[in-house]
Amino acid sequence: MNRKVIIEDLGSSDYKEVWDYQTQLLDKTIAIKRKNRVSEDLEETPNYFLFVEHPHVYTLGKSGDLNNLLINENQLKEKGATYYKINRGGDITYHGPGQIVGYPILDLENFFTDIHKYLRLLEEVIIKTIADYGLKGERSQGETGVWLDVGTPFARKICAMGIRSSRWVTMHGFALNANTNLGYFDNIIPCGIRGKAITSLEAELNRKVNLEEVKEKITEYFRQEFEVEEFLSKVNL
């Protein structure tokens, strides 16, 4: 089993370009797995972890409800935002500047074959990361992601998650609100969940955070939780 992970920071990159890139990596990994089934000369499957910041964009999961997007095409253009219906789980969410998005493209057969465990470990990575900033992240029953003050009238989401898996290879991932403009969430019903607020590290701490520092913490906790043997750096696209 290959537990080395190729890590890339794509900086600020267009959503569709990165979605296509994820798909290329996933297809490449699946092709290796198919070849291994009929070959005696087995090739290790790679694992990737992409960091990215997207320009303003709304994405709707495959089972999501378009009614949870509260603005029309002209209003999207006015706000400098785009919209995509995509192939991950979950409903609608927002990505934009100041938000840390992570896309693990992992062959889970290198780690464990359990999607539920995969999501719980991703949540744990974020819970441990924000704990370093004095925040108590929690899980909310039936609502994937990381929340604050679960079970109170002040419950608010700080990190959304939505994934796709094919032949145990993952794509899409998480979006942690760091220095995010939360006003963009007013244009949607986030994750299709009514009556619960969205927050960010900046809003909770009343100061901007260093995004590179946060990404370093995420990387370290990801290494711990997924028992990564080594991170292999790759230059930006």
Residue 168 in contact with residue 108, Cβ under 8 Å?
A: yes
Q: What is the pLDDT of residue 193?
A: 73
Q: What is the pLDDT of residue 63?
A: 85
Q: Structural domain tally of the chain?
A: 1
Q: What is the pLDDT of residue 40?
A: 87
Give the CA count within 13 Å in the CB-facing half-sphere of 184.
26
- Of 83-92, 102-111, 113-122, the poorest mean pLDDT is in 83-92
Scanning the chain, the segments in alpha helix (DSSP H) are: 15-38, 73-78, 115-131, 201-205, 211-225
Q: What is the pLDDT of residue 235?
A: 53
Residue 58 in contact with residue 70, Cβ under 8 Å?
A: no
The yes-or-no verdict on residue 84 having pLDDT over 70 is yes
Q: Which of 69-73, 167-171, 231-235 has the highest mean pLDDT?
A: 167-171
Q: What is the pLDDT of residue 89?
A: 85
The verdict on whether 159 is a catalytic residue reads no
Domain holding 65, by residue range, is 4-233
The strand ranges marked E within 41-113 are 48-53, 57-60, 82-85, 92-95, 99-105
- Which residue is catalytic, options 121, 191, 198, 209? 191
The yes-or-no verdict on residue 237 having pLDDT over 50 is no
The C-alpha atoms of residue 114 and residue 108 are separated, in whole angstroms, by 8
User: Residue 37 — very low, low, confident or very high, per pLDDT cuts 50/70/90?
Assistant: very high
CA angle 128, 62, 140 (to 5 degrees): 30
Both structure tokens of 26: 């996933």
Q: What is the pLDDT of residue 219?
A: 98
Higher model confidence: residue 40 or residue 5?
5
Residues 112-117, mean pLDDT to the nearest whole number: 98
Both structure tokens of 60: 């709707």
- Mean pLDDT, the chain, as a whole number? 95
pLDDT > 90 in the chain, percent? 89
Residue 15 in contact with residue 188, Cβ under 8 Å?
A: no
User: Residue 236 — very low, low, confident or very high, per pLDDT cuts 50/70/90?
Assistant: very low
Higher model confidence: residue 228 or residue 91?
228
Q: What is the pLDDT of residue 160?
A: 95
For residue 229, give every residue at least 6 positions away whose Cβ sits within 8 Å of its Cβ, in sequence order, or none. 3, 4
Q: What is the pLDDT of residue 196?
A: 79
Backbone phi, psi, residue 151, to 5°: 85, 5
Backbone phi, psi, residue 159, to 5°: -145, 125
The yes-or-no verdict on residue 28 having pLDDT over 70 is yes
Sheet holding 57-60, edge to edge: 82-85, 57-60, 92-95
Residue 178 in contact with residue 51, Cβ under 8 Å?
A: no
The C-alpha atoms of residue 207 and residue 111 are separated, in whole angstroms, by 37
Q: What is the pLDDT of residue 58?
A: 96
Both structure tokens of 7: 């890590």
CATH number at residue 217: 3.30.930.10
